[in-house]
Amino acid sequence: MKSELYDTLNRQVLALFEGETDLIAAMANLSALLNEHLSEINWVGFYLAKNDELVLGPFQGKVACVRIPMGRGVCGTAAAENKIQRIADVHQFKGHIACDSASNSEIVIPVIQNDKVIAVLDIDSPNFSRFDEQDQNGLETIVESFEKCLFAQQMHKI
């Protein structure tokens, strides 16, 4: 069941990242964890907010576009509006940036520190409507746990 999957993943996130201070290493491992356990996905990873654009971070999947202007595409919209984007059909999303032509649905979750979007977690699927409300809630909780583990000590540098 999905809720059990997300509960298990959330416990793993808390165990894996508790006390970790290196953001890139943690993002690399969270991408790997999600890639291993989520079915029907073809890309999962991070874009980091740097100087009014998003720059590719740790990920699992095919080669992707390196820079996305803030406000552009699904990722840029999530970052600019600080709002989760759950898109059932990316081809209907105005300005969608197609990195992998196999992608048909997508979810993007902002990563927040001190009320600012410092990155986004992006997950793509070859299925239409791959992500439902349970996925959204589960992934939101995982990103919140990730933020708490990583940023509790305010020691990291991007």
Cβ-proximal residues to 114 (8 Å cutoff; 6+ apart), any chain: none
Minimum distance from CB of 90 to ligand SME (Å)? 6
Under the binding rule (CB under 6 A), the answer on residue 73 touching ligand SME is yes
Interaction between residue 109 and ligand SME (CB under 6 A): no
Q: Is 14 or 64 the residue whose CB approaches ligand SME more closely?
A: 64
Give the total residue count for the chain: 158
- Which residue in the set 38, 75, 118, 149 belongs to the binding site for ligand SME (CB under 6 A)? 75
| Binding residue for ligand SME, selected from 26, 41, 84, 96, defined by CB under 6 A | 96
Q: Is 43 one of the binding residues for ligand SME (CB under 6 A)?
A: yes
- Residue (117 or 149) nearer to ligand SME, CB: 117
Q: Does 58 bind ligand SME (CB under 6 A)?
A: no
Query: Rounded distance, CA 12 to CA 103, Å?
Result: 27
Cβ atoms within 10 A of the Cβ of 114, count?
A: 7
Report yes or no: 33 and 58 within 8 Å, Cβ to Cβ. no
Smallest separation (angstroms) from ligand SME to the CB of 14: 26
| Contact assessment for residue 63 and residue 146, using Cβ atoms and an 8 Å cutoff | no
Taking the complex as a whole, the smallest distance from the CB of residue 39 to ligand SME amounts, in Å, to 18
DSSP code of residue 91: G
Looking at this protein, which amino acid is placed at residue 129? Answer: S
Q: Check: CB of residue 108 under 8 Å from CB of residue 43.
A: no
Positions touching ligand SME (CB under 6 A) are 43, 64, 68, 73-76, 96-97, 99, 103, 106, 122, 124
